[in-house]
Structure 1
Amino acid sequence: MDPRSEVLLRQADLFQGQLLLAGLPADDLLGKLPAANGWCWHAGDQAALDARFAGRSHFGVNAPTQAFEGAVLFLPKSRDLANYLLNALASRLGGRELFLVGEKRGGIEGAAKQLHAFGRPRKLDSARHCQLWQVTVENPPVAVELQSLAEHYELPLPEGPLNIISLPGVFSHGRLDRGTALLLQHLDKLPAGHILDFGCGAGVLGAALKRRYPQNSVTMLDVDAFAAASSRLTLAANNLEAEVITGDGIDAAPLYLDAILSNPPFHTGVHTNYQASENMLKKAAQHLKKGGELRIVANSFLRYQPLIEAHLGNCTTVAEGQGFKIYNAKRG
């Protein structure tokens, strides 16, 4: 059981009504709170919740439309995303209860200060390195459209400028990260056919690929619904067409790909987690055609080259700079 869920269950009498659990972990919390429903934006968590509690968790970037008596927000890593989620929940809870739970290392004490805009918050519990806060929403805010919170920036490319749109919570929100910047300089000589952008984020890499190789089919995959929504906005802003899908890692990717490109993720919430990236490297060959190519950028300290060679064969370093390396390998 997630420690945040354990803290909630210490006050279980408060959570017996028709509550919405926003950003809930994929544990047994819905089993312990049979009248509650979830709102999830992590495809892996959603799949796990669907398997155990079918129909009780909503997936997407917008809150479910059905009414709820109160809500619990599991604090996300991104402060911008937390602001959006608190607004989305509080705008529908006038006179009712909004709870906020999170890890101390995730900034729960600072985030709890945001509850003052809605009423008079109080700390209900502190345990398992987590805190639980509650506020009666006396001043419900006006609901803010998610797209109005998007960050826009222009990316100069040889093929022409690319307009990037990122939503709160998306990796490198509102700016180009150094790893992707390096990879964008090394997109030459990619094979024709079907290309996957793994961990697409705001759609920078996938959109650049489609702009440079318009005849190629591009699929963009991310575990996060906000990233997928950002990628669709980026594509639309540049009049580009590509497939955008959500799924939990490389297992959700198409087969018979001609190339996989990625600046692979290595965080889950506030925790460092290399599992999705390492699983992609181990299974990339299963999704590539014979002769298909893997090209990734990663922090130089990560020992990805031996892992790639163990599953794909010879791996070369294409470029290196600013603490990053680009690795390239082909399926034999």
Structure 2
Amino acid sequence: MIASERKPEYYRALLEKNSEYEGVFYVGVKTTGVFCRPTCPARKPKIENCEFYETAEQALLASFRPCLRCRPLSHPQLMSDLVRQLVDAVEAHPEKRWKVQDFRALSVDASTARRQFKKRFGMTFVAYARARRMGIAMKQIRSGKVIDAQLAAGYESGSGFRDAFTRIMGAAPTRLDRQSILKAAWLDTRLGPMIAIADEEALHLLEFVDRRGLEREVERLRRRTRSAVIPGYTPPIRSIEDELNRYFEGRLSAFQTPLSLLGSPFQQEVWDRLTRIPPGQTTSYAQLAASIGRPAAYRAVAQANGANQLAIVIPCHRVINANGELGGYGGGLSRKAWLLQHERRMIATPRTDA
């Protein structure tokens, strides 16, 4: 989401339908659940009902669907018939996970769709479809509601909502009483929204909403715990929300929220070592492997690092390449660089409760 200090400027551009801001921002309207381009002809919402985003993907992940009037993803002068066809197909079945045979059914070449979507939107078609699908589930998590929001999600019958929710969170809302329950909450942070999933005792997952592979992480968590996920808060979620706020304010360097680590003994050993890397310091995969007595297992260590489902709390961002380069990070390299710099500043100028 765009920083709050830009909100007045972008709101004026929206009121004026200023075409100079096309491509600069999209606006999500909380009262309607849609997102628009700056020049949308629809009646303008109040500023308190607007959220501004730099990309369409951010708006989709925040649960907004494309406006049918200004069509922010299908400008007729900028979009090919193929891309428009695929956008319409996603809106018809937003819960679908697209496979090669789905493209064949539409007589569409998957590589062509990827190339054209990337050129037009800066993301692939699969990324667009995923963002739309995830946005549906995130809408419920963000609002804390399950049943009451299904019409607001844009479905007359609610079946599309249930399908999308089930594919990501594991059970139709009406059947949750027969399963173990985990609760999920949307947490706004300085580096973007995160999703926290926990039971009443411990935190199971903490990830940035736009992380690639988040659906697979949720699926893996559901299978291992034999649980479904519904919107809501638990004591561990309240705890991590408070701790994250203090962390980003530079007042906390060690997390105390109880954690549930679901992994192999090797993975858990790697994660335990990660928590021992002091804030403001870094190590390499090879050094991490050596520290657990497995110097030749640096590739396995890297894989365990990537399997971590508790971003920031299990600080995999403190592991870099041996040559000093940042290496990979599920939340994105810009976030990794920010976190490392933030922790160095925090250690250099400690605050009261850090």
TM-score where L is the length of structure 2:
0.29
Q: Where is the strand percentage greater, Structure 1 or Structure 2?
A: 1
Higher helix share: 2
* TM-score, L = length of structure 1: 0.30
